[in-house]
């Protein structure tokens, strides 16, 4: 409570004094403010009991975000923003864009009607292997099984350790054991940071054999269908790639990287019958080698979730700010315009610190 109150007081003081402009990392008439979301749900409190809270925003809060942005920025499609950035054309007045990652069906059910009613464009970056299926992303499956383990009164950490030993996975790659406080999200993050996609898939398969999961959570996280995507594409929504399987590209072999980015583009263009120019890096993980792979695959624009820019190909590292239900609320849990202003300026971005390594690395 005290931390939230302090944050709101600082945000209000900086916004009302105009000091927030001193923290601005970019001029929104030169580089638009691009906001990103994941899931849009009817009831945040209810959904957050079963799935990752920081992936969620309620319809009420999402509409407050959109209305605040629309009053202060011209909301533009990423296609038009890309064309202007490529030509070096300024935007005339502050500009913003709205994007969604992953391709959850709730974006179609809840966000799309709001955007359509207000006549606003947006972009959706989808995981193509999930479209039209009942499957969940690996990260969601892993979180659910770890959360269920925690709710059953057992240690998710020991649960994972035993499964890893049975699979012959090197437990030594996780020296942080014992320091996670049995938090499913911290454990999930650690595993995703240390293992490749195929290793995570094998681990989840073993865990799910031993721990029943919540079927309601699985239903909530259903992906979009091709009919949904085609309808959105025909009504002001740009569809881009978020890889084939949401593999974290900087952790994968180069052959996997190439397959993820090339196959997803091909599938999207085949079904949507239009070119796909935009790519969002899963979890924002990229480096110059990954940027080169995206460029080689035929994309024209790439989107991160931090302020790192590739000096040779800046259009392939366009920054975004990912927001969720509690990202811009005051101490009373109500939407706060001053806090939103601070997010736009980058004031809360810890001096540009990014937890991911964007340096060049060797790939197999």
CB-based contact 239:226 (threshold 8 Å): no
**Tens digits of residue pLDDT in 280-291:** 999 999 999 999
Confidence category of residue 232, pLDDT binned at 50, 70, 90: very high
- pLDDT given at position 240: 98
| Longest alpha-carbon distance in the chain | 60
The strand ranges marked E within the chain are 33-37, 39-41, 56-58, 74-75, 95-102, 122-126, 237-241, 278-280, 301-303, 321-322
CB-based contact 295:26 (threshold 8 Å): no
Q: What is the mean pLDDT of residues 8-26?
A: 60
The residue among 53, 59, 116, 128 whose CA lies nearest residue 280 is 128
Does residue 6 or residue 96 have the better pLDDT? Answer: 96
Q: Please give the span between the terminal C-alpha atoms of the chain, in angstroms, as a whole number.
A: 48
Among 14-18, 46-50, 182-186, 299-303, which is the least confidently predicted range? 14-18
Confidence category of residue 12, pLDDT binned at 50, 70, 90: low
Q: Is the pLDDT of residue 2 over 70?
A: no
Q: Is the pLDDT of residue 6 over 70?
A: no
CB-based contact 72:93 (threshold 8 Å): no
Q: List beta partners, residue 126.
A: 102, 241
Q: Mean pLDDT: which of 184-188, 218-222, 258-262 is highest?
A: 258-262
- pLDDT given at position 59: 98
Mean pLDDT of the chain: 90
Q: What is the mean pLDDT of residues 340-363?
A: 75
Q: Is 300 helix (H, G, I), strand (E, B) or coil?
A: coil
Let me know if domain 2-135+221-352 sits in CATH 3.90.25.10. Answer: no
**Tens digits of residue pLDDT in 145-202:** 999 999 888 889 889 989 999 999 988 777 777 666 678 998 999 899 889 999 999 9
- pLDDT given at position 265: 98
- pLDDT given at position 170: 86
Q: Is the pLDDT of residue 7 over 70?
A: no
Q: Is the pLDDT of residue 143 over 80?
A: yes
- pLDDT given at position 48: 93
Query: What distance in Å separates the CA atoms of residue 11 and residue 96, rounded to the nearest whole number?
Result: 20
**Tens digits of residue pLDDT in 80-136:** 999 999 999 888 899 999 999 999 999 999 999 999 999 999 999 999 999 999 999
Query: What distance in Å separates the CA atoms of residue 229 and residue 123, rounded to the nearest whole number?
Result: 11
Structural domain boundaries in the chain? 2-135+221-352, 138-218
- pLDDT given at position 175: 75
Among 5-19, 171-185, 236-250, which is the least confidently predicted range? 5-19
Does residue 303 or residue 7 have the better pLDDT? Answer: 303
Neighbours of 9 (CB within 10 A): 13
Q: Is the pLDDT of residue 364 over 90?
A: no
Return the C-alpha torsion angle 282, 149, 1, 98, nearest 10.
20
Confidence category of residue 218, pLDDT binned at 50, 70, 90: confident
Question: 275: Cβ–Cβ under 8 A, 6 or more apart, which residues?
Answer: 269
Q: What is the mean pLDDT of residues 137-145?
A: 94
Q: Is the pLDDT of residue 303 over 70?
A: yes
Q: What is the mean pLDDT of residues 296-304?
A: 98
């Amino acid at each position: 409570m005290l931390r939230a109150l302090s944050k709101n007081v600082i945000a209000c003081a900086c916004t009302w004094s105009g000091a927030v402009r001193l923290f601005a990392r970019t001029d929104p008439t030169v580089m638009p403010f691009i906001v990103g979301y994941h899931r849009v749900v009817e009831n945040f409190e209810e959904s957050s009991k079963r799935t990752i809270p920081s992936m969620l925003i309620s319809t009420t809060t999402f509409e407050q975000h959109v209305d605040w942005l629309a009053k202060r920025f011209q909301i533009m499609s990423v296609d038009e923003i890309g064309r202007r950035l490529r030509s070096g054309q300024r935007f005339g007045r502050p500009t913003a864009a709205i994007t969604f990652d992953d391709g959850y069906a709730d974006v179609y059910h809840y966000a799309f009607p709001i955007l359509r009613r207000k006549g606003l464009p947006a972009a959706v970056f989808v995981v193509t292997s999930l479209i039209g299926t009942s499957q969940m992303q690996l990260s969601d499956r892993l979180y659910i099984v770890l959360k269920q383990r925690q709710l059953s009164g057992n240690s998710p950490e020991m649960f994972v350790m035993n499964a890893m030993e049975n699979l012959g996975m090197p437990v030594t790659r996780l020296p942080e054991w014992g320091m996670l406080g049995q938090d499913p999200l911290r454990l999930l993050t650690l595993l995703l940071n240390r293992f490749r996609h195929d290793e995570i898939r094998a681990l989840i398969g073993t865990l799910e054999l031993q721990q029943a999961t919540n079927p309601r959570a699985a239903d909530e996280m259903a992906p979009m269908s091709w009919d949904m995507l085609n309808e959105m594409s025909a009504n002001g929504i740009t569809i881009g790639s978020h890889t084939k399987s949401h593999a974290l590209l900087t952790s994968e072999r180069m052959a996997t990287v190439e397959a993820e980015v090339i196959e997803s583009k091909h599938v999207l263009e085949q079904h949507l019958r239009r070119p796909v120019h935009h790519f969002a890096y899963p979890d924002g993980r990229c480096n110059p080698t990954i940027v080169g792979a995206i460029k080689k695959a035929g994309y024209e624009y790439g989107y991160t979730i931090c302020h790192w820019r590739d000096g040779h190909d800046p259009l392939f590292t366009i920054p975004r700010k990912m927001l969720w239900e509690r990202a811009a609320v005051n101490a009373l849990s109500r939407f706060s315009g001053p806090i939103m202003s601070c997010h736009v300026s980058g004031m809360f971005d810890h001096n540009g610190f990014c937890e991911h390594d964007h340096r060049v690395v060797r790939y197999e």
